[in-house]
Structure 1
Amino acid sequence: MGSAGGSVVLVTGVSRDLGRRFARALAAGPTVSRVIGVDVVPPRGDVGDVSFVRADIRNPVIAKIIAKEDVDTVVHMSVISTPGATGGRNAMKELNVIGTMQLLAACQKAPSVRNLVVKSTTTVYGASSRDPAMFREDMEPRRAPRAGYAKDVAEIEGYVRGFARRRPDVRVTMLRAANVIGPHVTSPITSYFRLPVIPTVLGHDARMQFLHEQDLLDVLAHAVRTDVAGTFNVAGDGVLMLSQAIRRLQRPAVPMPAFAVGKVGQTLRSARMADFSPEQLSFLTYGRGVDTTRMRDVLGYEPAYTTAEAFADFASLLPPTGGRSEKVLAGLARQLSAPSGPQPPEPVGADHG
């Protein structure tokens, strides 16, 4: 492989916490001689022995980095699930889809590249009333995603499969992670569970599977070190119902019709408190289960945390929350119960600047 004594690994998306921690752990471990971390902004926090290169993967300069550094393994972690950090949905789509296309084009041209590991997500299966109890890796979503993060991921996976056909000499491993959860994770689902009052969809109790943040880092490292190709669902054992999860948080739930939860979501999003996309709403309504047999039998990975343990670790460090979202939800409850047609919404959080 790459240089004497170990492989040279390029990791995208190192400005975010999980990407930074993964790159740092990989650089500190055996079997890897160098780790190059790439992102548009420098990571906040300690990167250890990682060489950081400030670069945008949408830009062809990424090919020069791969060639110059003699990279043999690429770990793609910069697919993002929320538009918030990127400046809107279009920027998010461009970073996700165009970024992946450029990265794969660079890998395709580089004879040194022998391994590609892509962090994907079980969101690619969608969530609907017609879903199977457990999605296996060879199953398609019941409804092709028309927009948002799920559509980005479906396109990205398509490009990755195309790359694998064009470079059959490269080992390609795609990890479809369940919702990653843990004390340090900020995502649409953790923001939802951090609300002091949790809106739920009336008449539904979604099944959920989680992957602990440490297991995500471990399974990525396992995929780098293990010569196994293919697509794998990755999730902690077992399923947690949404109602059980909320009870374990000891927070009040407010069951509402789906349209009302959608309205709450818009309000919370504009107040920058939680990101409610249509796919998040579907997930909170129907949930999702994935079969992890291949993860164990073929990839040879066993998560340290079950779904329930991963959730418990996330919940254990939740700080007491202020009254801001109570105000938002109280305003919405008044708005939704107002008998005389739609009222103009009150300005939410105006006193918070």
Structure 2
Amino acid sequence: MASVVLVTGVSRYLGGKFARALSRDADIARIIGVDVVPPPHSIGRAEFVRADIRNPMIGKIIVQAGVDTVVHMNVIATPLSAGGRVSQKEINVIGTMQLLAACQKAPSLARLVVKSSAAVYGSSPRDPAMFTEDMGPKVLPRSGFGKDSVEVEGYVRGFSRRRPEVGISMLRFANIIGQGIRTSLTDYFSLPVVPVPFGFDARLQFVHEDDATAVLIASATAREAVGIVNVAGDGVITVAQAAALVGRPIVPIPLPAAGLLGTFVKRSGLADFSSDQMHYLAHGRGLDTTRMRDVLRFDPAFTTKEAFLDFARHVRAPLPGVDAVGHAVQGAAGSAATAIAHVWAVGRRT
């Protein structure tokens, strides 16, 4: 059982929510919250320590406090919240490397919990209906958060070989959604007009932010580590169904133009959405959650649809000027499609 817990990324929304929930566990003697900036929200009874996990100083904090459990939540999904793609990769990959190097030298450490992502499975038309934890991606993520997550998991496996006595729980979350959390997909479904790849209606899975917090608590306080576990709410919804639930019209675009549109959406400030994620919206992804129930013994309170509905009830109505923004998105989609069609036509003539 955990007694001294260190939480990374405590100044971020989910990190703060986790620290507050963990604070209610009377069996936890001490909680240390680490981040590079002071938290803008309550972190319960956690002690905030201003530190960068990319700095070797994190090792002194772990050793001096006698930390026995590290919960690594500072793996950032959206470039905007990290200050750009370069900073995002540094925090995710270099930060994890330095944190694990510090953990390797900490004799008191007994448990490591890592917030990972189902993005490690990638997204392609050759994917199985449901990924189990033992399956690998048919097509490895080549960029962005998915690639970072693959590298992070690789470093965690290396750490596990060097410190086999430390219990590892690595949670591969489906897209987390709820009333307060902001992600690339909450941005996407808040757009006044939702662009969707033409001819596709991908299956999506979600996990509610409350369930994400609860499963992290269960992993941090369980008697035994659980290894790699998929985490998602029951069931799936499609992109079109999700758009209908938030009351947004959809505009189909050719998949080859999706990358151009994703770049436009991001640069326009409409959403923190990278071009590679448009392929996820074409092919989707499904997670088998048998291990979540049988090994971790966790049952989410929200299904995928219920989690999305909770977000939909609190999503902002389209702002004044929605028509202009909608026309801009549609115009970008049309321009991209025209450009792609022109390239195809030239290619056929040559």
C-alpha distance in 2, partners of 1:265/1:99? 27
Deviation at 1:325, TM superposition (A): 5.6
Which residue pairs with 1:168 in the alignment? 164
| 1:273 equivalent among 267, 270, 274 | 270
Secondary structure of 1:116 counterpart:
strand
Which residue pairs with 1:43 in the alignment? 39
Which residue pairs with 2:23 in the alignment? 27
Which residue pairs with 2:307 in the alignment? 310
Contact 2:265–2:329 under 8 Å retained in 1: no
- The root-mean-square deviation of aligned C-alpha atoms, in Å, is 1.7
Which residue pairs with 2:243 in the alignment? 246
C-alpha distance in 2, partners of 1:179/1:335? 26
After TM superposition, the structure 1 = structure 2 runs for residues 1-353 of structure 1, keeping only pairs within 5 Å, are 7-226=3-222, 227-323=224-320, 326-334=323-331, 337=334
Give structure 2 stretches of 5+ with no counterpart.
340-350
Percent identity over the alignment is 54
Residue by residue over 1:131-180, the C-alpha shift from the partner in whole angstroms, topping out at 9 and shown as x without a partner, is 00000101111112222111110010001011111111111000000000
C-alpha distance in 2, partners of 1:324/1:68? 55
Question: Given the superposition, is the C-alpha separation of residues 103 and 324 from structure 1 closer, same or farther in structure 2, using an over 3 Å criterion?
Answer: farther
Contact 1:13–1:38 under 8 Å retained in 2: yes
Question: Given the superposition, is the C-alpha separation of residues 333 and 278 from structure 1 closer, same or farther in structure 2, using an over 3 Å criterion?
Answer: closer
Question: Given the superposition, is the C-alpha separation of residues 27 and 220 from structure 1 closer, same or farther in structure 2, using an over 3 Å criterion?
Answer: same
Deviation at 1:61, TM superposition (A): 0.3
Deviation at 1:88, TM superposition (A): 1.8
C-alpha distance in 1, partners of 2:226/2:33? 23
Contact 1:150–1:279 under 8 Å retained in 2: no
C-alpha distance in 2, partners of 1:243/1:45? 35
C-alpha distance in 2, partners of 1:143/1:266? 22
Contact 1:127–1:279 under 8 Å retained in 2: no
Question: Given the superposition, is the C-alpha separation of residues 136 and 44 from structure 1 closer, same or farther in structure 2, using an over 3 Å criterion?
Answer: same
Number of equivalent positions:
337
C-alpha distance in 2, partners of 1:37/1:239? 34
Contact 1:267–1:328 under 8 Å retained in 2: no
- Taking structure 2 as the reference length, the TM-score comes to 0.92
Question: Given the superposition, is the C-alpha separation of residues 262 and 8 from structure 1 closer, same or farther in structure 2, using an over 3 Å criterion?
Answer: same
Contact 2:251–2:330 under 8 Å retained in 1: no
Question: Given the superposition, is the C-alpha separation of residues 246 and 130 from structure 1 closer, same or farther in structure 2, using an over 3 Å criterion?
Answer: same
Contact 2:262–2:275 under 8 Å retained in 1: no
C-alpha distance in 1, partners of 2:314/2:148? 32
Question: Given the superposition, is the C-alpha separation of residues 338 and 77 from structure 1 closer, same or farther in structure 2, using an over 3 Å criterion?
Answer: closer
Residue by residue over 1:58-86, the C-alpha shift from the partner in whole angstroms, topping out at 9 and shown as x without a partner, is 00000000011110000000000111122
Residue by residue over 1:89-118, the C-alpha shift from the partner in whole angstroms, topping out at 9 and shown as x without a partner, is 111111100100110011110000000000
Secondary structure of 1:195 counterpart:
coil
